[in-house]
Amino acid sequence: MDMDQVPGSLNDGGQNCSFKEWHDAFPQPKSSPPSISADELAVLLKTKTVGKDFVVVDVRRTDFEDWCIPGAINLPAHSFYPTLQGAVALLQSVPLVIFHCNSCGKPSSRGRRVAGWYQDYLDEKGITTSSARYLEGGIKGWASQWKGKEEGMLLKL
């Protein structure tokens, strides 16, 4: 994970930046963290402490609009891999880190990809105090389940 070796990074002046997709500059995740359902996350929000027992990481970038999950932090997928070491330093004491994007439907979705990178780094460093999950259905699934149904489960931006 030596960022000096990532083609197209600031370290090489961006001279080799010929990637089709934003994530092509980074390795494919080795892990496939499990999912968590909207119902399971709702239980956590109602019974546990955000930031201590779990944290929700919204990995949307320019599409971070309309709605968000209460207590979620925004760490865009596009800049997550280069800042992975710092993100892990901040999140490693939180037992459950739940990532989401718009829908998290495909294995290549931003939420699932970032959850994989996070889990890969934890595994590589032998960190067992935290683990990654991705939210089934992403923010779209969450919003369709909670919009207008229960106060405090969905925040309008």
pLDDT tens for each residue of 48-100: 999 999 999 999 987 666 778 999 999 999 999 999 999 999 999 999 999 99
In a domain, 148, yes or no: yes
Model pLDDT, residue 19:
64
Domain around 47: 35-156
In a domain, 61, yes or no: yes
Q: Which two tokens stand for residue 10?
A: 């600031």
Q: Which range (38-42, 124-128, 142-146) has the least confidence?
A: 142-146
Residue 157: pLDDT band by 50, 70, 90 thresholds? low
In a domain, 138, yes or no: yes
In a domain, 63, yes or no: yes
In a domain, 48, yes or no: yes
CATH number of domain containing 97? 3.40.250.10
Q: How many domains does the chain have?
A: 1
Comparing C-alpha atoms, which of 89, 93, 98, 103 is closest to residue 132?
A: 98
Alpha carbon separation from 60 to 11, 34, 57, 100, 111 (Å, rounded): 25, 19, 9, 8, 8
- Separation between Cα atoms, residue 80 and residue 130, nearest integer Å: 17
Q: Is the pTM of this model over 0.75?
A: yes
Model pLDDT, residue 113:
97
In a domain, 22, yes or no: no
Model pLDDT, residue 2:
45
End-to-end CA distance of the chain: 35
In a domain, 3, yes or no: no
In a domain, 21, yes or no: no
